[in-house]
Amino acid sequence: MKTIYVLNGPNLNLLGKRQPQIYGHETLEDVERQCAAACAEGFGVRLLQSNHEGQLIDWIHEARETTCGIVFNPGAFTHTSIAILDALNTYEPPVIEVHISQVHKREAFRHHSYVSLRADGVIAGLGLEGYAAGVRRICQLATRQTQEDLQ
Ligand code: DHK
């Protein structure tokens, strides 16, 4: 079984309760269920959430050894964290950056992303569907990579 990490940054533990007019009524458990359903055969997801930058960095380091891709909603660290960008730059498999809201329609400080300097794809404004789309893309890229490795 190939593992995909679905990483979530600060305040996303409150998904479903926090500003539902922006982030909707569904919870991280719904994200986990939808991501599991989006996996191709032979793939599985592990959903993780932390409000702490260092914990997210530790999980990225751990993912280097154990995963075939990361779907990542870094929350507000998207716009501030060079340390998370540096961690992602140590990670080889695909990274898909996800934002539930359409950040480019929001405040100017949400328009810049450090994570986008590394991400292989960026999804914003699709609601929770963005996570499932990210998982599908990782499955596709990882399968392609396996086929190339076999040639
Ligand atoms: C989530 C957050 O917590 C914000 O800080 C980002 C992102 C947007 C989202 O849309 O999922 O700016």
Dihedral of the CA atoms 96, 102, 105, 106 (nearest 10)? -90
Amino acid at 73: N
| The pair of three-digit structure tokens given for residue 81, joined into one six-digit string | 């964290």
For residue 8, what are the domain limits? Answer: 2-150
**CATH number of the domain encompassing residue 49:** 3.40.50.9100
Nearest to 83 by CA among 108, 58, 110, 107: 58
Provide the domain count of the chain: 1
**Residue 114: its pLDDT value, please?**
98
- Catalytic entry in 5, 23, 114, 131: 23
Nearest to 51 by CA among 104, 102, 82, 15: 15
**Residue 102: its pLDDT value, please?**
98
Beta strands in 22-120 (DSSP E): 43-49, 69-73, 95-99
Cα 99 to ligand 1 centre (Å): 6
Q: Is 51 annotated as a binding residue?
A: no
Ligand 1 contacts (CB < 6 A) are 11, 73, 75-76, 78, 99-101, 103, 110
Question: Which of 19, 103, 104, 113 has the most ligand 1 atoms within 8 A of CB, as the residue to mutate?
Answer: 103
Per-residue pLDDT tens digits of the chain, which is 151 residues long: 999 999 999 999 999 999 999 999 999 999 999 999 999 999 999 999 999 999 999 999 999 999 999 999 999 999 999 999 999 999 999 999 999 999 999 999 999 999 999 999 999 999 999 999 999 999 999 999 999 999 9
Phi-psi region of 125 (alpha: psi -120 to 50; beta: other; left: phi over 0): left
- The residue assigned the tokens 């599991």 is 36
Angle between helices 28-38 and 129-150 (to 10 degrees): 30
**Residue 27: its pLDDT value, please?**
98
